Amino acid sequence: AHNLAKLNIPVSIFNVDFDNGAVAKGCEIAKDLNNVIFLEGDFLKKQFRGVKMGLLIGVLCSIPKGGCITVLKRLKKNFSNGILVASCVAPTMKEHDPEMEYILRYITGWNLAYKDLEELQKIFSDAGWKPIGHFSDCHGFHNMVIGQLE
């Protein structure tokens, strides 16, 4: 968000997080940027209109399929011909990095609901988003799907 704001493109960037520490750090980093706003709270309860692009990073990772569909459906009201990019941890992370799986599950308490690319694309479709693209990190540990409102 910080680098995007520096491009002087007429855009407002809203970052919503439950973690007040993350919000405070974001506010500190972006203190000189008028178009970057950090808000504490539940992004599903915030009312934004006319969103052109949304990013869900780490949000769907611990939510089962049905819950992911509900989240994506609820976000649709905020978008107007926009796109949504959402990431989810892939089964390959569990298979190829069992130490990270252990840390996330047993030390941080983050119970991951692994989804492969096809499942994540189906979640988008079932929620009324048209998958128009996808990509992954260099290890294939995280799948990202780009969806557009249908």
Per-residue confidence of the chain (150 residues) as pLDDT tens digits? Answer: 556 555 666 667 778 888 889 889 988 988 887 778 888 888 888 777 778 888 888 899 999 999 999 999 988 888 877 889 999 999 999 899 999 989 988 999 888 999 999 999 999 999 999 999 999 999 999 999 999 987
Angle at 70 between CA 111 and CA 52, to 5 degrees: 105
Q: For residue 72, count other CB atoms closer than 10 A to its CB.
A: 24
Q: What is the pLDDT of residue 7?
A: 62
Q: Are 84 and 129 in contact (CB under 8 A)?
A: yes
CA 44 – CA 60 distance, rounded (Å): 13
Q: What is the pLDDT of residue 92?
A: 93
Question: DSSP assignment, residue 128?
Answer: T
Q: What is the pLDDT of residue 2?
A: 54
Tokens found for residue 64:
């089962």
Q: What is the pLDDT of residue 141?
A: 93
Phi first, then psi, for residue 105 (nearest 5°) are -75, -50
CA 2 – CA 43 distance, rounded (Å): 20
Q: Are 121 and 134 in contact (CB under 8 A)?
A: yes
Q: What is the pLDDT of residue 5?
A: 55
Q: What is the pLDDT of residue 72?
A: 94
Question: In one letter, which amino acid is 108?
Answer: T
User: CA 69 → CA 74, 128, 136, distances in Å?
Assistant: 9, 9, 20
Instruction: Express each pLDDT in 75-100 by its tens digit.
Output: 888 887 788 999 999 999 989 999 99
